[in-house]
Amino acid sequence: MLARLSRMSLGELGWRSRASARIAWDRIRAAQSAPAWNRSALPGVLTAHPSLDDARAAMRQGEWLLAHRRLARHFASSPQRFPLSPGHRRSLVPAIRDRFPDAPSDARARADNIVAGRYDLLGYSGLTFGTAETTAIDWERDPVHHRRAPRRFWSRVPYLDPACGDHKIIWELNRHQHWLTLGRAYWLTGDSRYRDRFVFELTSWLDANPPLTGINWASMLELSLRSLSWLWMLAFFAGDSSRDESPWIVDLLLAIDRQLAQVERNLSYYFSPNTHLLGEALALYVAGRSLPELRRSPHREALGRRVLLAEIERQIAPDGGHCELSTHYQRYTLDFYLLALIVARLSGDAAAADFESAVARLACATRLLADDHGRLPHLGDDDGGALFPIAGRSPDDVRDSLAVAAALLGRPDLQIETAPEEAFWLLADPALARRQSHSQAKSPHTHGSGALTDTGYYVSRSARGDHLVVDGGAHGYLNGGHAHADALSLSLTVAGIPFLVDPGTGAYTVDAALRDRLRSSHMHNTLVIDGRSQSVARGPFSWARTANSHVRRWRTHDAFDYFEGEHDGYAPLEHRRHILMLRGDLLVVADLVRGPGQHTAAVHWHVDPRWAVQAHGHAVTFATSGACCQLLVPNGDVECFTADHNSGFGWHAPVYGSVRPMTSLRVTYNGGWPLWTASVFGLNPNNPIVDAEFVPVAATAGALEHAVALRISRVASTDFVALAETTPGHDGAIWRFDEFETDARMLFCRVAGSQLACFALMDGSLMRRQPEPGWRFEMPHRLPEIHVDLQDLGLPGSITA
């Protein structure tokens, strides 16, 4: 505690002191008089605008149903300030039915489950929150682990304690984002059961969650996301209130105001100054701009705007990556600023220009990180949530977010495939889109390889849908709460099919062993020394020790991409990783480990369950529908694990809460140090790999710091890959392997029969082979990178330059 206090600024100490005093006072008042909802308080939180006079008069007379209907008419006729309004129904529903013929039946099926009390949340299906004796909803119960959070004053609820169950499951239901599913179904089918279910759940929730009481008041982010869900309800349901028997708009407005009052008093400036703070500011801004009927709205929108604008530079790197270094939270942040931009444009806020700039940066980075089907790799934590779960999209599918960004920015290059249905709900007002790109299918190959150098992600992609992402960045943000021990790990999609994957996030607090295992280095596609994780966790959202990565080289060319990085997670040992990707053809991952003593190294590869895996000695084959590839390791012992409870390998979490079998490979190395390991992946089924072996490297004594060379035998060619680092003062030194000589840091050569088919070099000027037939390529100066395909040039296989 003293150490924590010593690290706090005076501003933080002052803020925490004031917050603690305020919370203590609220707790004393709650103990003296239990907080309760009181409809008669609503006139006091409404603005004194003449348009609300009729509704306010009905409230003063206690005519709550009449006030409800007058408020409904008011909202149905008010200017649009939110993405959706009752007036959009007439034009939007036919458009969605026409473009997505299956949408009504899909919406009905999803909504029928909710009406029956069955909820698909996170990675769970068919959860029920009631009991066999009653249809009432227990809003504080975790039905997966059969635990319930205690009903206490909000600041006293120990929601991170596993004894309360998994707070993520409880909160996911209480976000009420499934109400968007009910609204969608009501508009597309006209079935009043879905509207009735919403009113029933709202009444149930208010009865079970009086102000400041219980787990559902314990997180400001959860109050914020719930308030945003309730704003959607005004759009979906306020237009059909003439036959209502419950004044739900009165209750909803009062509860939105009370929850936002709690949020604005307890913003996560210091508790979780990441996406928690963004989500809270977003709710204040959006509700403030969308609900001018509330007296506090001007203050809330100003506060929310100020935080959202300040956090752009604090949380979004210049390259557009989010500071938490999690692709899931990257998507969350993009969606937050998309909603802010939409509301700013609709309500005429000058902040729209700044929100547009933030969206452009975030969307460009997200497009680079996504594969050509719109899937994000699971880098860092993934909590399974989403801001716009209207039609049940997968949490790692960002096509809708990118389609909305493409339309708002007039950037069709950001869009992947035809825009999904969610984009139409968000772009209901045609004036929002600068171009109607959300209705057009786009080529997936408009983006090539690239790097987010500030964030630390390096991406190689090919025209056929290969997508490689390498993590060379820092270990998370602040305390690294959503980071994994994944320094220099990679993920790979082959021909559009996820192949080498990250394990995801199975749980946060309810299963500490699972939490630590899935974020350890062993569960990522990287190298582990002596069975130790590069970074060591301390609790569910912090670390005792973290690895620092450094990217030494990144080069991208039309034909290949090259990455080289290192980290200090095993200091004093050094782990350096070299990655060469020949687009659509070959991936070579070479790891160098140097340092004192004798150690054991293991390289781990975690294979998506769509692939069938067969290991034969040092060779592994992978096959799935429409694709196949191989892995050759020239040394090391290969072990296969599938759903192995003893080792913990062979498991992954495609979405939070769902842990499923997969296949994990562990390649173990013992030997002299320094140690080189190599994993050679053949990605071209027309030229499969037969064998791979190390070949000796020679140079003038003391010229090379380290070097390695591989001979890769394939059905139609023999490929050579060689890497070297010269010692200081020996730049340009010539070194040799097999029958080749070069001064390059990286050299690739392909020999077909007796002819040189192609070659690539990096940071060099010379490549030659002796004896006959001899080849020679020489330039007067060193080239950063070059690739020459002799067959494309129409040159003979044996050349002299």
CA distance 222 to 280: 8
Helices 103-115 and 89-99 cross at an angle (nearest 10°) of 110
Which tokens go with 306? 């100020």
Q: What is the mean pLDDT of residues 128-153?
A: 88
CA distance 38 to 36: 6
Nearest Cα to Cα of residue 404 among 384, 379, 387: 387
pLDDT at 302: 98
Q: What is the mean pLDDT of residues 793-801?
A: 41
Q: How confident is the model at residue 430 (pLDDT cuts 50, 70, 90)?
A: confident
Going by their DSSP bridges, the two strands 536-537 and 543-545 should be labelled as antiparallel
Residues 719, 728: contact at Cβ < 8 Å?
no
Which tokens go with 386? 């989403």
Torsion angles phi and psi, residue 752, rounded to 5: -115, 110
% of the chain surpassing 70 pLDDT: 96
Torsion angles phi and psi, residue 388, rounded to 5: -125, 60
DSSP letter at 774 equals P
pLDDT at 790: 85
Q: Which of 56-65, 342-351, 455-464, 471-480 has the least mean pLDDT?
A: 471-480
CA distance 716 to 685: 11
Residues 749, 767: contact at Cβ < 8 Å?
yes
pLDDT at 772: 66
Nearest Cα to Cα of residue 351 among 363, 339, 362, 333: 339
Which segments of 438-573 are extended strands (E)? 450-452, 457-461, 467-471, 490-494, 497-500, 527-529, 536-537, 543-545, 549-556, 560-567
Which tokens go with 617? 């000695």
* DSSP bridge partners of 375: 397
Residues in the chain: 801
**First and final C-alpha spacing in the chain:** 70
**Regarding predicted confidence, which is higher, 328 or 770?**
328
Nearest Cα to Cα of residue 739 among 762, 718, 761: 718
CA distance 770 to 67: 93
Q: Is the pLDDT of residue 10 over 90?
A: no
Q: Is the pLDDT of residue 443 over 70?
A: no
Kindly report, residue by residue over 669-723, the tens digit of the pLDDT: 886 678 999 999 999 999 999 999 999 999 998 899 999 999 999 999 999 999 9
pLDDT at 635: 85
pLDDT at 740: 93
Residues 401, 425: contact at Cβ < 8 Å?
no
Nearest Cα to Cα of residue 344 among 331, 357, 332: 357
Residue with tokens 């009043």: 192
Q: Which of 299-303, 353-357, 433-437, 629-633 has the least mean pLDDT?
A: 433-437
Which tokens go with 433? 């889109």
Kindly report, residue by residue over 252-271, the tens digit of the pLDDT: 999 999 999 999 999 998 88
* DSSP bridge partners of 761: 747, 786
Residues 525, 538: contact at Cβ < 8 Å?
no
Amino acid in position 98? D
Q: How confident is the model at residue 5 (pLDDT cuts 50, 70, 90)?
A: low
Q: How confident is the model at residue 796 (pLDDT cuts 50, 70, 90)?
A: very low
Note the helical H segments in 592-640: none
Burial class (CB in 10 A: 0-12, 13-18, 19+), 101: exposed
Residue 546, number of CB atoms within 10 A of its CB: 22
Q: How far is CA 170 from CA 16, 159, 178, 670, in A?
A: 27, 10, 13, 47
Nearest Cα to Cα of residue 311 among 347, 279, 353: 279
The conformational region for residue 470 under phi > 0 = left, psi -120 to 50 = alpha, else beta, is beta
pLDDT at 133: 55
Residues 315, 282: contact at Cβ < 8 Å?
no
The continuous run of DSSP H or E covering 126 comes out as strand 124-127
Amino acid in position 349? D
CA distance 53 to 56: 5
Which tokens go with 197? 């279910």
Kindly report, residue by residue over 567-623, the tens digit of the pLDDT: 999 999 999 999 999 999 999 999 999 988 888 999 999 999 999 999 999 999 999
pLDDT at 436: 45
pLDDT at 755: 87
Question: CB-based contacts of 244: which residues, under 8 Å, 6+ apart?
Answer: 65, 68, 69, 72, 199
CA distance 256 to 211: 11
How many CA atoms lie less than 13 Å away from 255 in the CB half-sphere?
Answer: 28
Helices 352-369 and 327-347 cross at an angle (nearest 10°) of 150
Residue with tokens 């990783």: 577
Residues 233, 239: contact at Cβ < 8 Å?
no
% of the chain surpassing 90 pLDDT: 84
CA distance 551 to 384: 30
CA distance 727 to 402: 46
In 3-state terms, what secondary structure has residue 165?
Answer: coil
Which tokens go with 707? 């070097």
Handedness of CA 152, 155, 156, 159 (dihedral sign): positive
pLDDT at 272: 81
In 3-state terms, what secondary structure has residue 174?
Answer: helix
CA distance 606 to 523: 7
Which tokens go with 422? 């969610």
Q: How far is CA 120 from CA 104, 201, 783, in A?
A: 18, 16, 56
Which tokens go with 391? 């039609």
In 3-state terms, what secondary structure has residue 252?
Answer: helix
Q: How confident is the model at residue 3 (pLDDT cuts 50, 70, 90)?
A: low
Kindly report, residue by residue over 341-383, the tens digit of the pLDDT: 999 999 999 999 999 999 999 999 999 999 999 999 999 999 9
Residues 171, 122: contact at Cβ < 8 Å?
no
In 3-state terms, what secondary structure has residue 145?
Answer: coil
Q: Is the pLDDT of residue 792 over 70?
A: no
Residues 491, 469: contact at Cβ < 8 Å?
yes
The continuous run of DSSP H or E covering 580 comes out as strand 574-582
Q: Is the pLDDT of residue 534 over 90?
A: yes
DSSP letter at 79 equals P
Residue 135, number of CB atoms within 10 A of its CB: 11
